[in-house]
Amino acid sequence: MAVITISRQFGAGGITLGKMVADSLGYTFADSDIIQRVAKEANVSTHWVESFEKEAGSKLSRLVSSMVSKRWIDRVLGDERGYLDEKIYLDYLVLIIAQFADEGNVVIIGRGSQYILNDHPDAIHVLLMDEFENRVKFMMKQYDMPEKKARRTVESEDRRRVSLYKRLGKTDFENPRLYHLVLNMGKMDMKTARDMICDAVKERMAANSA
Protein backbone atom coordinates (compact mmCIF):
# COMPACT_ATOMS: atom_id res chain seq x y z
CA MET A 1 0.00 0.00 0.00
CA ALA A 2 1.71 3.14 -1.22
CA VAL A 3 1.79 6.57 0.38
CA ILE A 4 2.36 9.63 -1.82
CA THR A 5 3.31 12.97 -0.31
CA ILE A 6 3.06 16.02 -2.53
CA SER A 7 4.99 19.08 -1.43
CA ARG A 8 4.84 22.18 -3.58
CA GLN A 9 5.49 25.79 -4.08
CA PHE A 10 2.09 27.41 -3.70
CA GLY A 11 0.32 27.75 -7.03
CA ALA A 12 2.25 24.90 -8.65
CA GLY A 13 -0.96 22.85 -8.77
CA GLY A 14 -0.45 20.49 -5.85
CA ILE A 15 -4.10 20.08 -4.89
CA THR A 16 -5.26 19.76 -8.50
CA LEU A 17 -2.56 17.21 -9.33
CA GLY A 18 -3.00 15.37 -6.03
CA LYS A 19 -6.70 14.83 -6.75
CA MET A 20 -5.88 13.60 -10.26
CA VAL A 21 -3.36 11.09 -8.92
CA ALA A 22 -5.73 9.91 -6.19
CA ASP A 23 -8.57 9.47 -8.69
CA SER A 24 -6.33 7.60 -11.13
CA LEU A 25 -5.06 5.18 -8.48
CA GLY A 26 -8.26 4.92 -6.47
CA TYR A 27 -6.46 6.36 -3.40
CA THR A 28 -7.68 8.55 -0.56
CA PHE A 29 -6.92 12.25 -1.04
CA ALA A 30 -5.84 13.70 2.32
CA ASP A 31 -6.04 17.47 2.58
CA SER A 32 -9.17 18.73 4.32
CA ASP A 33 -9.42 15.28 5.95
CA ILE A 34 -6.27 16.12 7.91
CA ILE A 35 -7.92 19.29 9.23
CA GLN A 36 -11.01 17.33 10.24
CA ARG A 37 -8.99 14.74 12.14
CA VAL A 38 -6.89 17.35 13.92
CA ALA A 39 -10.10 19.13 14.94
CA LYS A 40 -11.62 15.90 16.22
CA GLU A 41 -8.53 14.89 18.21
CA ALA A 42 -8.07 18.38 19.68
CA ASN A 43 -11.81 18.73 20.30
CA VAL A 44 -12.02 22.03 18.44
CA SER A 45 -13.88 23.21 15.35
CA THR A 46 -12.49 22.68 11.85
CA HIS A 47 -12.72 26.46 11.43
CA TRP A 48 -10.34 26.88 14.37
CA VAL A 49 -7.81 24.51 12.79
CA GLU A 50 -8.12 26.22 9.39
CA SER A 51 -7.61 29.63 11.00
CA PHE A 52 -4.72 28.31 13.03
CA GLU A 53 -3.00 26.89 9.95
CA LYS A 54 -3.27 30.28 8.28
CA GLU A 55 -2.01 32.23 11.29
CA ALA A 56 0.33 29.79 13.08
CA GLY A 57 3.88 31.03 13.12
CA SER A 58 2.87 34.65 12.70
CA LYS A 59 3.87 37.33 15.18
CA LEU A 60 0.23 37.57 16.28
CA SER A 61 -0.13 33.87 17.11
CA ARG A 62 3.18 33.85 19.00
CA LEU A 63 2.07 36.87 21.00
CA VAL A 64 -1.28 35.31 21.84
CA SER A 65 0.32 32.00 22.80
CA SER A 66 2.73 33.75 25.13
CA MET A 67 0.01 35.81 26.81
CA VAL A 68 -2.83 33.30 27.19
CA SER A 69 -2.32 30.29 29.41
CA LYS A 70 -3.97 26.92 28.85
CA ARG A 71 -5.34 27.03 32.39
CA TRP A 72 -7.19 30.24 31.56
CA ILE A 73 -8.51 28.76 28.30
CA ASP A 74 -9.69 25.64 30.17
CA ARG A 75 -11.51 27.76 32.73
CA VAL A 76 -13.28 29.84 30.10
CA LEU A 77 -14.18 27.03 27.72
CA GLY A 78 -14.76 24.28 30.26
CA ASP A 79 -14.40 20.61 29.47
CA GLU A 80 -16.67 20.54 26.43
CA ARG A 81 -14.24 22.26 24.10
CA GLY A 82 -10.58 21.69 23.53
CA TYR A 83 -7.58 23.89 22.98
CA LEU A 84 -5.03 24.28 20.22
CA ASP A 85 -1.61 25.88 20.30
CA GLU A 86 1.47 25.48 18.14
CA LYS A 87 2.93 22.50 19.99
CA ILE A 88 -0.39 20.65 20.24
CA TYR A 89 -1.08 21.29 16.56
CA LEU A 90 2.30 19.88 15.51
CA ASP A 91 1.88 16.85 17.80
CA TYR A 92 -1.51 16.05 16.30
CA LEU A 93 -0.25 16.75 12.78
CA VAL A 94 2.54 14.17 13.12
CA LEU A 95 0.15 11.63 14.67
CA ILE A 96 -2.55 12.02 12.03
CA ILE A 97 -0.23 11.99 9.02
CA ALA A 98 1.28 8.79 10.43
CA GLN A 99 -2.24 7.37 10.78
CA PHE A 100 -3.04 8.12 7.13
CA ALA A 101 0.23 6.47 6.12
CA ASP A 102 -0.59 3.37 8.17
CA GLU A 103 -3.96 3.14 6.43
CA GLY A 104 -2.11 3.27 3.10
CA ASN A 105 -3.17 4.03 -0.47
CA VAL A 106 -3.27 7.75 0.19
CA VAL A 107 -2.11 11.02 -1.37
CA ILE A 108 -1.10 13.50 1.35
CA ILE A 109 -0.81 17.18 0.51
CA GLY A 110 1.93 19.21 2.18
CA ARG A 111 2.12 19.95 5.91
CA GLY A 112 5.68 18.64 6.22
CA SER A 113 4.58 15.10 5.36
CA GLN A 114 7.79 14.43 3.45
CA TYR A 115 9.68 14.88 6.74
CA ILE A 116 7.19 13.09 8.95
CA LEU A 117 7.20 10.06 6.63
CA ASN A 118 10.82 10.33 5.57
CA ASP A 119 11.62 6.75 6.63
CA HIS A 120 8.30 5.18 5.65
CA PRO A 121 9.10 2.15 3.46
CA ASP A 122 6.12 2.63 1.13
CA ALA A 123 6.28 6.41 0.76
CA ILE A 124 6.99 8.25 -2.48
CA HIS A 125 7.79 11.92 -1.98
CA VAL A 126 7.07 14.43 -4.76
CA LEU A 127 8.01 18.11 -4.99
CA LEU A 128 6.29 20.46 -7.45
CA MET A 129 8.05 23.66 -8.46
CA ASP A 130 7.38 26.50 -10.88
CA GLU A 131 8.30 30.11 -11.56
CA PHE A 132 6.49 32.74 -9.51
CA GLU A 133 4.76 34.27 -12.54
CA ASN A 134 3.50 30.87 -13.68
CA ARG A 135 2.09 30.21 -10.23
CA VAL A 136 0.29 33.54 -10.24
CA LYS A 137 -1.23 32.71 -13.63
CA PHE A 138 -2.28 29.27 -12.37
CA MET A 139 -4.17 30.83 -9.44
CA MET A 140 -5.82 33.37 -11.73
CA LYS A 141 -7.00 30.66 -14.12
CA GLN A 142 -7.80 27.85 -11.67
CA TYR A 143 -9.56 29.97 -9.04
CA ASP A 144 -10.71 32.92 -11.15
CA MET A 145 -8.63 35.37 -9.11
CA PRO A 146 -7.77 38.94 -10.12
CA GLU A 147 -4.05 39.30 -10.75
CA LYS A 148 -3.38 41.48 -7.72
CA LYS A 149 -5.12 39.03 -5.37
CA ALA A 150 -3.34 36.07 -6.97
CA ARG A 151 0.05 37.72 -6.41
CA ARG A 152 -0.74 38.51 -2.77
CA THR A 153 -2.01 34.98 -2.19
CA VAL A 154 1.06 33.28 -3.66
CA GLU A 155 3.41 35.55 -1.72
CA SER A 156 1.48 35.01 1.53
CA GLU A 157 1.31 31.24 1.14
CA ASP A 158 5.01 31.06 0.30
CA ARG A 159 5.75 32.80 3.60
CA ARG A 160 3.39 30.49 5.48
CA ARG A 161 5.10 27.44 3.99
CA VAL A 162 8.49 28.67 5.17
CA SER A 163 6.99 29.30 8.61
CA LEU A 164 5.64 25.76 8.92
CA TYR A 165 8.98 24.22 8.04
CA LYS A 166 10.74 26.46 10.53
CA ARG A 167 8.38 25.19 13.23
CA LEU A 168 9.34 21.67 12.18
CA GLY A 169 13.00 22.68 12.48
CA LYS A 170 13.60 22.29 8.74
CA THR A 171 15.14 24.64 6.21
CA ASP A 172 16.03 22.26 3.36
CA PHE A 173 12.47 21.66 2.11
CA GLU A 174 13.43 22.28 -1.52
CA ASN A 175 16.47 19.98 -1.41
CA PRO A 176 15.88 17.46 -4.23
CA ARG A 177 17.53 14.70 -2.18
CA LEU A 178 14.40 14.60 0.00
CA TYR A 179 12.21 13.52 -2.90
CA HIS A 180 11.76 10.65 -5.32
CA LEU A 181 10.43 13.03 -7.97
CA VAL A 182 10.96 16.77 -8.46
CA LEU A 183 8.64 18.07 -11.17
CA ASN A 184 8.96 21.45 -12.87
CA MET A 185 5.33 22.19 -13.62
CA GLY A 186 6.32 24.94 -16.04
CA LYS A 187 7.76 22.23 -18.31
CA MET A 188 4.85 19.76 -18.38
CA ASP A 189 1.07 19.55 -18.23
CA MET A 190 -0.96 18.03 -15.41
CA LYS A 191 -1.67 14.76 -17.20
CA THR A 192 2.02 14.14 -17.86
CA ALA A 193 2.85 14.87 -14.21
CA ARG A 194 0.04 12.58 -13.06
CA ASP A 195 1.27 9.73 -15.24
CA MET A 196 4.85 10.14 -14.01
CA ILE A 197 3.74 9.91 -10.38
CA CYS A 198 1.45 6.96 -11.04
CA ASP A 199 4.22 5.12 -12.90
CA ALA A 200 6.60 5.73 -9.99
CA VAL A 201 4.03 4.30 -7.56
CA LYS A 202 3.48 1.20 -9.67
CA GLU A 203 7.23 0.61 -9.99
CA ARG A 204 7.68 1.03 -6.22
CA MET A 205 4.88 -1.38 -5.40
CA ALA A 206 6.21 -3.95 -7.87
CA ALA A 207 9.70 -3.68 -6.37
CA ASN A 208 8.33 -4.05 -2.81
CA SER A 209 6.34 -7.16 -3.73
CA ALA A 210 9.19 -8.82 -5.62
CATH of the domain at 127: 3.40.50.300
Calculate mean pLDDT across residues 63-85.
49
pLDDT band for position 79 (cuts 50, 70, 90): very low
How far apart are alpha carbons 56 and 63 in whole angstroms? 11
| pLDDT value of residue 55 | 66
Backbone angles phi, psi at 98, to 5 degrees: -65, -35
| pLDDT value of residue 175 | 92
Backbone angles phi, psi at 179, to 5 degrees: -125, 155
**The pTM is what?**
0.82
Please tell me which residue, 150 or 70, carries the higher pLDDT value. Answer: 150
pLDDT in tens, 116-140: 999 999 999 999 999 999 999 999 9
| pLDDT value of residue 111 | 87
198 domain-assigned: yes
| pLDDT value of residue 82 | 66
In whole angstroms, what separates CA 181 from the centre of its chain? 17
Residue 95: pLDDT over 80: yes
Q: How many CB atoms lie within 10 A of CB 81?
A: 14
104 domain-assigned: yes
| pLDDT value of residue 210 | 66
Q: For the chain, what is the HEC assignment?
A: CCEEEEEECCCCCHHHHHHHHHHHHCCEEECHHHHHHHHHHHCCCHHHHHHHHHHCCCHHHHHHHHHCCHHHHHHHHCCCCCCCCHHHHHHHHHHHHHHHHHHCCEEEECCCHHHHCCCCCCEEEEEEECCHHHHHHHHHHHHCCCHHHHHHHHHHHHHHHHHHHHHCCCCCCCCHHHCCEEEECCCCCHHHHHHHHHHHHHHHHHHHHC
| pLDDT value of residue 73 | 43
36 domain-assigned: yes
141 domain-assigned: yes
How far apart are alpha carbons 168 and 19 in whole angstroms? 26
194 domain-assigned: yes
| pLDDT value of residue 85 | 72
Q: Beta partners for 126? A: 6, 181
| pLDDT value of residue 47 | 84
The count of structural domains within the chain is: 1
154 domain-assigned: yes
- The boundaries of the domain holding residue 178 are 3-205
76 domain-assigned: yes
210 domain-assigned: no
